[in-house]
Amino acid sequence: MSVRAGDLDARLHDALPTEIIEAALSEVGRDQLALVSSFGAESAALLKFAADVDPAIPVIFLDTGWLFEETLTYRDALTAHLGLTDVRTIHPLADDLATQDADRDLWFSDPDRCCFIRKIEPLARGLAPFAAWLNGRKRFQGGDRANISVVEADGRRLKFNPLANVTQEELESVFTSAKLPPHPLVASGFASVGCMPCTSRTASDEDARAGRWRGLAKTECGIHVVKTS
């Protein structure tokens, strides 16, 4: 898989987002390709590119049980706006929540475990039928994302990063030119939107993800940890 991913990454190194999505479709077919979206602050851009290629590409949305109500409303509005026809909402397992987070304070005592039962395990179930997936990470977001490839091996799957090459200015241009509705929380200072307890506003001189898990060494929920087998 790593050789296959490397070959695709070299071929798509300078490709446009729609070209990368088209290549993913050509590689595995629509039934084997999923787009994973948080319907967060910048999600509309990738969803717009995907809708332009094929609005029936399956979209997986993780409802962690801790999302802002504005995010759930945005999911529904953006789905209708872009004409997406296969958005699948995945939830954590009720047994996991009952046995491991009955008091809903795991985010405070063990945020990594909270992310596991609310995001990583549900995503694994959601991606089970698929051979490849698309996600919205961008290099300009910094941190662990600064050097991402366009295509990666993710266990037995291919992982495509169609927005890896885009700049902040290009992303903003997509929102303007396509008249994409912004996430409702962006106007109040949220540059990146995740779960309520672990998301805060960012200052103008901070990077977009500075408000995620503020004060902790944690910068990712874990779904983007590359699997090698």
φ/ψ of residue 216, rounded to 5 = -110, 160
Q: How far apart are the first and last CA of the chain?
A: 9
- CB neighbour list of residue 35: distance below 8 Å, 6 or more residues apart: 46, 47, 50, 57, 58, 59, 60, 133, 134, 135
Catalytic residue among 114, 195, 198, 221: 221
Q: How far apart are CA 60 and CA 157, in angstroms?
A: 15
Residue 61, sorted as left (phi over 0), alpha (psi -120 to 50) or beta, turns out to be beta
Question: Catalytic residue at 221?
Answer: yes
φ/ψ of residue 59, rounded to 5 = -115, 125
Cα distances (Å, whole numbers) of residue 159 to 34, 65, 77, 127, 128 = 10, 26, 27, 11, 14
For the annotated catalytic residues, the residue numbers are 221
